[in-house]
Structure 1
C-alpha cells in the first residue's frame, strides 16, 4: 500500500526542506522536469537552470501564501543529491525577515533605554513595551505558521509534481539516507 503524500512531506516548520539521492545525473533530472513542465496539463510552472530548479504554481492559482519549491543539485558518489526547500515567494519571505528584525531591534533598543533609566534611578516604565513587542513577535510567527498551513495543499501539489516528473520517492526514509550521504 502506498503512503499518503503527507508522509512524504516534512512536518510543519518554517521553510521545510528535504534531501534525496538519485542515480540520475543533472542533465537527466533537468530534462525530466523540463519535459513535465512543458506538458499542457502540468499543475506547476517553473524554471530549470543548470544545477537549480524552481517550481511554483500558475499565477492564476497563486495567493499571498502560495509556496514555491527551490531545488539544488549536487554531485555525490552515489549519483545526484537533490536538496529541496519549500518557502514563500522571495517578497513575502523578505517582508517577514524585515518585521522580525525590526521587532528584535526595537526590543533591544527599548531594553537598553529602560535598563539605563533604571540604573540612573529614573522611571523604567518604557520596559512595559518589551512584553508587547514579544507578543507582536510571537503573533508574527503565528501568522507565518497559519500562512504556511493555508499554502499546504499547494505544497502537496508541488511535491507530487516533483515526484511524478522525476520518478523519485521523496519520503522520510530516503531523506535520512540522503542526510547521511550529504555529511
Structure 2
C-alpha cells in the first residue's frame, strides 16, 4: 500500500482520508489503542469504539494545535475508517463563528450605507466606517488562522506520519 501526498492536501484546511477494511471496528479500536500506547511519548489521545482524537504532545498549547480525528463506521459488512486532520472542533467552530458574524455584520452595515445613499439620507453616517471595520476584522481573523496553521505545520506533519504508520501497521497485522 502506498500513501501519496496530493495537491489537494496543500489546499484543504482540513485534509481527509478514508480507508475501507474487512476487520471489525472493535479489532481496529483495540489495535489503535495499543498503537497509541506504544507512541505515548510523542502522542496523546482518546480512543473509544466509534471515534478517536489524537494530538501531538508539545510544551505549549497553541490555539490551533492540530489533532487527528478518526471515526469508524460499518457499511455493508465492512469497516470504514475516516480521518480528518485539523484544529479541535471547538477552535474550528469558534473561527467559523467569527467569520459568520463579521461577514453578516459587514453585509448589514454596507446595506445600511447603500440604502442611506439611495434615499439621500444622513441618518447613519457611521455605516460605511463600520463596514470597513468589519472587513478589517475578517482579514484579522484570516491572518490569525494562517498564523496558527504555520505554527502548527510540524505537528501536522507528525500527525500525518502517525496516521500513515498506524494504517501501514494495521494493514501489515491484518494480512
TM superposition score normalised by structure 2: 0.77
Structure 2 counterparts to residues 1-183 of structure 1, below 5 A: 10-39=9-38, 41-58=40-57, 60=59, 62-77=61-76, 79-123=78-122, 126-167=127-168
Instruction: Choose 58-67 or 19-28, whichever is displaced more.
Output: 58-67
Structure 1 stretches (4+) deviating beyond 6 angstroms? 2-5
Could you tell me how far apart the structure 1 residues matched to 2:28 and 2:54 are?
A: 14
- How far residue 81 of structure 1 moved from its aligned partner, in angstroms, is 1.7
Q: For the Cα contact (< 8 Å) 1:21–1:80, is it kept in 2?
A: yes
Which residue does 1:179 correspond to in 2? none
- Name the structure, 1 or 2, with higher relative contact order (CA <8 Å, separation 6+): 1
RMSD: 3.0
Which residue does 1:181 correspond to in 2? none
| Structure 1 residue runs without a partner (length 5+) | 170-183
Q: For the Cα contact (< 8 Å) 2:3–2:164, is it kept in 1?
A: no
Could you tell me how far apart the structure 2 residues matched to 1:5 and 1:50 are?
A: 28
SS of 1:60 mapped into structure 2: coil
Which residue does 1:173 correspond to in 2? none
TM superposition score normalised by structure 1: 0.74
